[in-house]
Amino acid sequence: MLYLLVVLFLATTLPAQVASRSAQVETARKEKSLHLAPDETSRLERALLAIKERKLVERFTAGIAGFRLKLGGLVSGSGFALGPEYLRRDLADGGVILRGSARASLKRYQLFDLELGLPKLAGEKAFVDLYAVHQNYPRIDYYGPGPDSSKTGRSNFRLEDTAYDFTAGVKPVRRLRLGGLAGYLDVNVGPGADRRFVSAERIFAPAGTPGIDQQADFWRGGVFAQYDWRDNPGGPRQGGNYLVRYTRYSDRQFAQNSFGRLDLEVQQYFPFFNERRVIALRGKTALTYTADGQRVPFYLQPTLGGSEDLRGFRPFRFYDDNLMVLNAEYRWESFSGLDMVLFSDAGKVFPRRAPWTLKDLEGAVGFGFRFNIRNDVFMRIDVGFSHEGYQVWVKFSNVF
Amino acid sequence: MGEVLQRILTGATLALLLPWPLGAQKFYPDDPVWKEPKPRAVAEVLGRKLSDYYDFFWHTFATPGERHTTREPIRARSVNTLGEVPDGAWYANRHGRTRMSVEELVRGPGISHAPDVSGPWKVVGAKTEGVTPGFTIEDARGARYLLKVDPAEHPEMATAADVVGAKFFYALGYHVPENYVVTFERRQLRVDPTSVLTDPLGKKRKMNERDVDEVLLNVPRDSHKRYRAVASLMLKGWLGPFRFHGVRADDPNDVIPHEHRRDLRGLFVFCAWLGHNDIKSLNNLDTLVEEDGVRYIKHHLIDFGAALGSDSFTAKSPRAGNQYLFEFRRSIIQILTLGLYVPRWAKARYPHLPAVGRFESEVFEPERWKPNYPNPAFRNRLPDDNFWAAKQVMAFSDEEIRALVATGEYSDPRAVDWITKCLIVRRDKIGKAYLARVLPLDRFEVRNNRLEFEDLAVKHKFVPPRQYQVQWSRFDNLTGRKTPLAGRTLLEIPPELEPATAGEYFCAELRAADPHKTVTVYLRRGERGTQVVGIDRTW
């Protein structure tokens, strides 16, 4: 009886015998066909797919009916900022760009701007841009004039200005832009809102800090030329970018703050090891020119320090009539979405053009992370060190 | 008496029953199977899309699919008893089994369905998947194609890669679409009034001629102001991509987890050879087809625009094929060494040939090659999977490779020369690497009363001619027991096979210098002689 039970058990529980390989395959298929179900994806995958298919990220960044949320974009030190932006790139089949925004930061910095661009005139050989902006920055740092200003002399002031600029230019050949600018600038400086530090007008006099007592309105106009042969401006690995710009500021109120400003900038990228390593160099200078009896107001002076130039120093650490900055970065790829950086910054401000030398430069060194998507840097973290301490910068744009 | 009879019957029943359900039988009468049994009809099946983000993150940070255990590796399952993949919905033996002529290789999946240029092409949609811009067009005959173009800086690169890649993968046995290089003028394209475009913000709207101009704005043109594109004949019966692990729950014929399919494991070697680092689920496609009155799911590889030196929208990154998009350990090494540790691939040298992109052979190491992110089937590869693929790669002669590369219709002969040279060197590296991991004996047959075979390592001159140790055994197909035949240590068929009855099995175990690398060949006596029915390999 036991034997019989064993036989019955085996006959009923073990798989049916097959006589051929084909039958074996068929048996497996038949077995599966009894349990078929829709081939569904997981909830998470469906969600990720929906995000892509419905272009939710694009819609979020592009907005609805042209309206979207704009993050950042204010001056260094303003803190986290956001606000609505209206952007239309689709007007006249892409021939017209209309943009306007209103942004404010946690530190109550404000920026309102409006731009109308015609980037594809004359078969994309010419461009025109109209730009109006109002800025209200309540606590811009000021440490006093010149390269010898003291870190402990930190004060702050409110900078409020309104500018209207018209830019037009041509692109005679690929990569070359030539153009001119004309505009109007209305500036107001007031007491700083940062109560931790003294307001600038209380400790700095007009003799050393021209314009601190009264501010002028300016006509400004100039010309520029740019030759840009970087392989990818969003995250260059080779090529160069050269810019020369001259702007003339005419004081239309007091006739004592007119000046000319020459900006020169050279960026050069030297790749090696198949562009997995890059030496990136930048040199830039701003030189101002004044006639007798004229002075450059401090709020229009070149400044040094911050996330864009001398990264081991606080923003706006140095003010003066002239500026020189040298940056060198060694960039290496950690993985496809991250480049690492070691950098060295040097620069100085100086009152006259005579010391346009490499002497007496302030220095900073540091390291950084460049996060990128398809080689476009979308975020960087830089940590800079100098004799004045260290600074950590989190920015959503590349430095150069 | 009754009790005795009962015991006898029970014993007899057990004797008959036990060997079968316990699965001890190694060979069936129809082994080796070279063609999968006719598929079961698919009743209801729905297409579904996969998320490329999910695919990337899941495969990068998780380990989907079944992996080898520490005790025992999992051998590939989609094979016949010779270790070959039978023809079927996934795969069809082509050049690797029976040499194709150069004309057949060049013809690939087909050459008779190129877009009809006698009339305008209706633009019926814009290509929104992937990174390469393009259109869906319909020619005068009503055939639909996906039209993809080259990046501005690299004329001919991506379009050639797509065509050449399809030809190679077809010859290697995969189901692929027909891809054609086409040149056309702007006036060839006419936007169909009913075509709808999903704009960058996800809104659907009617497509217009301006949209076509926008896509063509940065497309390189030849000296006659003509555009070049690859026209990929649309596969009918779209069901969405297949994964490299698991099975389709709605396909009764899909019974082997994909990570255990030899045709998908071995695909690694083919992708390494051809630089197809963008191999991923989204570059696969299942379609519902009907053959001989049966509807079933057929599995295809599609989109080879990132093969060779191309990365579709730009030249390949030097990292491609050498490192995953994200690798924690290597990233940390790079960070900690301040980039002073320079991987070998970063020193690769590339030609200044825009149509080539970045493709090379000096730095290429087949065993270290990697797709963009981990692939469960690739990671389950065993030496016999690699061997299966490597021997197919080695089947391509220099002339055949050149002929296939030329199907990319490069205008610069230096591009053909360079890619051909690279593929030849890469082929030989693959052969040298993977044929050495097993005893690479192949194409066994009984001829002139002797067991004949090819030693692929010798054939391709990776090793000099060598001696083999042989041990013949009688093989019990039901129990798997081998009984050595004393003194039978030559390749000559032992005399014990002569009186054997049909259905009896014998085997010969061969080894060369390395005792761990063996090949056991199984022979079956049949009515019409002795047949090789199975091969086992150890390493």
List, for residues A201-231, the tens digit of each pLDDT value: 999 999 999 999 999 999 999 999 999 999 9
A38:B249 CB<8 A: yes
Q: Is pLDDT at A381 greater than 80 in this prediction?
A: yes
Confidence of residue A33 (pLDDT cuts 50, 70, 90): very high
B124 lies within 8 A of chain A by CB:
no
Percent of chain A with pLDDT over 70: 96
The whole-model pTM stands at: 0.88
Amino acid occupying residue B367: E
CB contact under 8 A, A335 and B53: no
Which of B61, B201, B296, B477 would best serve as a mutation to test chain A binding (most A beta carbons within 10 A)? B201
Contact A285, A295 (CB under 8 A): no
Inter-chain touch A49–B6, beta carbons under 8 Å = no
Q: Does A29 touch chain B (CB under 8 A)?
A: yes
A92 C-beta neighbours (distance < 10 Å), count: 11
Q: What is the pLDDT of residue A183?
A: 97
Residue B9 pLDDT: 43
* Contact present, A336 and B320 (Cβ < 8 Å): no
Q: Which of A22, A28, A275 sits opposite B30 (nearest CB)?
A: A22
**Cβ of A55 and B202 within 8 Å?**
yes
User: What pairs with residue A266 in β-bridges?
Assistant: A242, A283
- pLDDT computed for residue B130 by the predictor: 54
What integer pLDDT is reported at residue B69 of this predicted model? 82
User: Averaged over A98-116, what is the pLDDT?
Assistant: 96
User: Phi and psi for B376 in degrees, rounded to 5?
Assistant: -60, -40
Q: Which of B14, B49, B255 sits opposite A32 (nearest CB)?
A: B255
The pLDDT assigned to B128 comes to 55
Q: Which of B532, B478, B472, B474 is nearest to B501 (CA)?
A: B474
Per-residue confidence (pLDDT) for residue A104, from 0 to 100: 96
- pLDDT for res A59: 76
Q: Which residues pair with residue B315 across a beta bridge?
A: B310
pLDDT at position B408, please? 97
Q: Which residue of B has its CA nearest to A18?
A: B20
**Cβ of A45 and B317 within 8 Å?**
no
Ramachandran bin of A65, using left for φ above 0, alpha for ψ from -120 to 50, beta for the remaining angles: left
* pLDDT score for A7: 43
| A56 vs B285, more confident | B285
Surface-to-core class of residue A262, CB atoms within 10 Å of its CB (0-12 exposed, 13-18 middle, 19+ buried) = middle
Q: What is the pLDDT of residue B24?
A: 59
CA A86 to CA A115: how far, in whole Å?
Answer: 10
Q: Using CA coordinates, name the residue in chain B closest to A4.
A: B10
B346/A273 touch (CB, cutoff 8 Å), yes or no: yes
Q: Cβ A333–B334 below 8 Å, yes or no?
A: yes
pLDDT at A315 over 90: yes
Q: pLDDT grade, residue A111 (50/70/90)? A: very high
- Out of A29, A40, A336, the one facing B255 most closely (by C-beta) is A29
At A14-23, the pLDDT tens digits run 445 688 999 9
Given A29, A62, A276, which is nearest B252 (Cβ)? A29
**B338: nearest CB among A29, A45, A342:** A342
Q: What is the pLDDT of residue B510?
A: 97
Least Cα separation, residue B206 to chain A (angstroms): 14
Residues 36-65 of B with CB under 8 A from A: 36-37, 39-40, 43, 45-46, 48-54
**8 Å CB contact of B252 and A36:** yes
Window 425-444 of B: residues touching A by CB (8 A cutoff) are none
Instruction: With a cut of 70, list the residues of chain B below it in pLDDT.
Output: 1-24, 127-132, 200-201
Element (H, E) at B52: helix B52-61
B102-138 b/e (C-beta count within 10 Å ≥ 16 → b)? eeebbbbbeeebbbeeeeebbbbbbebebebbbbbbb
Exposure string for B12-48, b = 16+ CB within 10 A, e = fewer: ebeeeeeebeeeebbbbebbbbeebbebbebeebeeb
B339 interfacial to chain A (CB closer than 8 Å): yes
**How far is residue B13 from each of residues A134, B1, B5, B8, B28, measured CA to CA in Å?**
97, 18, 12, 8, 21
Partner-chain residue, chosen from A4, A7, A21, that has the shortest CB–CB distance to B30: A21
Interface check for A38 against chain B (CB to CB < 8 A): the answer is yes
Distance CA(B324)–CA(B317), nearest Å, equals 11
Of A39, A52, A54, the CB nearest to B53: A52
Phi and psi torsions of B473, nearest 5°: -145, 155
Inter-chain CB proximity A337 and B325 less than 8 Å: yes
- pLDDT the model gives residue B8: 46
CA distances from B194 to A43, B207, B246 (A): 34, 8, 39
A124 and B CB contact within 8 Å: no
Output the CA angle A231-A234-A238, nearest 5 degrees.
Answer: 30
Distance to chain A for B416, nearest Cα, Å: 23
| Lowest mean pLDDT segment, chosen from A20-24, A311-315, A372-376 | A372-376
Q: Could you tell me the domains of chain B?
A: 52-107+243-434 (no CATH), 121-159+178-238 (no CATH), 441-538 (2.60.40)
- Chain B, 185 to 244: residues with Cβ < 8 Å from chain A are 198, 200-202, 210, 214
Contact status of B503 with chain A (Cβ, < 8 Å):
no
In percent, how much of chain A has pLDDT > 90? 80
In this prediction, residue B267 carries a pLDDT of 98
Give the type of residue at A203. I
Tell me, yes or no, if A62 comes closer than 8 A to chain B by beta carbon. yes
CB A122: neighbour CB atoms within 10 A? 10
pLDDT, residue A14, reads 47
CA distance B432 to chain A (A): 27
List the single best residue of A12, A34, A39 to mutate versus B (max B Cβ within 10 A): A39
B5 touches chain A (CB under 8 A): no
pLDDT, position B455: 97
What burial letters (b/e) apply to B508-524, b meaning 16+ CB within 10 Å? bbbbbeeeebbbbbbbb
Q: Which amino acid is at B194?
A: T
